[in-house]
Chains A and B, each alone.
Chain A
């Protein structure tokens, strides 16, 4: 409202764009930051991790948000235009396999997950007392959550081509909660209140402690991406995100594992 936007000339804008997983953190950190820094405004845009890399590289955003590594096509493009960025990890998240609550299976090994997601096991009866086709649900490769799961679960193999590809969390949750034979995966921050069942991997659940201590095997680094020689305001914001008492404390409150402090 008008009272909010007086002193237009003193304002600094730090635009962040990309991964919606990281954006969820930034909604909290950004609000606190704007309250503490009245001359800073933080516009957030989603669009996925690929968009995060692209906008940080070409400067359409001040900071890119990413929840996975740089997609190969963007790497080629960045090289061509000699674009460079620095990656700053601000939190670690666990990625968890989710199934319909009707599914009696509670635990799978990493090898079983590999076989499910690459398509070499196609029926639940190969895994336990449950029978029916395994309906694999995959994230769109432009979503950051795709890459770390593919890397850590499928390895050098491909996610099965039979997978249904979703482009957002809502359609993922919708599919898993309505299809008793479906299996997908999601970052742990999206788990609360959802009508889906998370599975343990090798007997370990993705709890805060298990992710922090590294006993839960499938993890994901949440990153901020900046161009070299960024502005003072951007530097200060990133320092805030990494501050044990500020950004890192908010990250912990949200159930993610901070990267700084408490070892």
Chain B
């Protein structure tokens, strides 16, 4: 038994060792190749938006190869600092430990998430604590919020939706959505469902709001471009591109493009709040 375990461990060790060696040999080649390209990696939420810029950017710079990849804000930042990529995407600003005079983080857009109810619901405001209760399933009746004595019908998006991930991060903080929640595949379907359910509640990005549903204030603040820009509305996420001092000209061009009229117009069309021009 012990011997078998030992042999297995040796086998695993050898496997890991040879993989590392192969990586080490390949590393300079990967690096050499990277220098002719623009490599962007980081937050999955930001990837969805930055990816939209690549086609129009390549049109202007036909000789550039752009590769983009998710993986998370922190992974992106570490890879940038190690020289593996040219730009990191982050869905938050650098924190105190990450603050570094060699790094420049540029705000490229803000995503706001609205809380939507049926237009006839006589509730205009909800606190973050209440939202937590509603989405978790601890608060189940509108009269607990000063509304009618009706059961709350929660509408949610399917797993993989980054708006859902946002709500899970900011409101649920690791807890799970109530099992009672009706799950819909896209924002349009969710909006449609709430517009037909007087007792429904759900979440939509700013862009998907229409007058078929009512967006209610959160912690007393209504969602608008102004309240998002001023950090007054709590359900929002800043998007950043981060580069090093030593960034290539192409990398800086891409950052500038993302903050230009053309780049911002694409972001705004897809639901972000404009932050520069």
A→B interface (CB under 8 Å): 1-2, 4-5, 8-9, 11-13, 15, 23, 26-27, 30-31, 34, 41-48, 50-51, 54, 58, 60, 73-74, 77, 140, 142, 167
Contact = CB atoms under 8 A, between A and B. Distances in A.
Given A8-B264, A142-B96, A43 B229 contact: yes
Contact of A48 (B96, B230, B261): B96
A44 B104 contact: no
B268 to A, nearest CB: 6
Interface in B149-167: none
A41 B232 contact: no
B230 A47 contact: no
20 contacts: A1-B223, A1-B224, A4-B226, A8-B261, A8-B265, A8-B277, A11-B277, A26-B230, A30-B229, A30-B230, A31-B230, A41-B225, A41-B226, A43-B110, A43-B276, A45-B231, A47-B94, A51-B93, A60-B106, A142-B99
B105 interface: yes
Contact of B273 (A5, A46, A73): A5
A9 B261 contact: yes
Contacts of A47: 93-94, 99
Residue of A1, A5, A48 ringed by the most chain B CB atoms within 10 A: A1
A5 B268 contact: yes
A185 B229 CA distance: 29
Interface string B126-140: 000000000000000
A108 B80 CA distance: 49
B206 interface: yes
B105 A60 contact: yes
B204 to A, nearest CB: 11
Given A31-B226, A41-B226, A45-B238, 11 more contacts: A5-B273, A12-B277, A13-B274, A13-B275, A26-B230, A27-B230, A34-B229, A43-B107, A46-B231, A48-B96, A50-B99
A4 B106 contact: no
B231 A27 contact: yes
Interface string B226-252: 100111100000100000000000000
Nearest to B264: A8
A27 B264 contact: no
Contact of A77 (B99, B101, B238, B268): B101
B209 interface: yes
The 7 closest A-B pairs by CB, nearest first: A4-B225, A43-B229, A43-B275, A27-B230, A13-B276, A77-B101, A142-B96
B103 to A, nearest CB: 9
Contacts of B107: 15, 43, 45
B212 to A, nearest CB: 14
Contacts of A2: 207
Contacts of A73: 101
A4 B226 CA distance: 8
Contact of B231 (A15, A44, A77): A44
Given A43-B229, A46-B231, A51 B209 contact: no
Given A31-B230, A44-B230, A46-B231, A51 B99 contact: yes
Contact of A11 (B99, B232, B274): B274
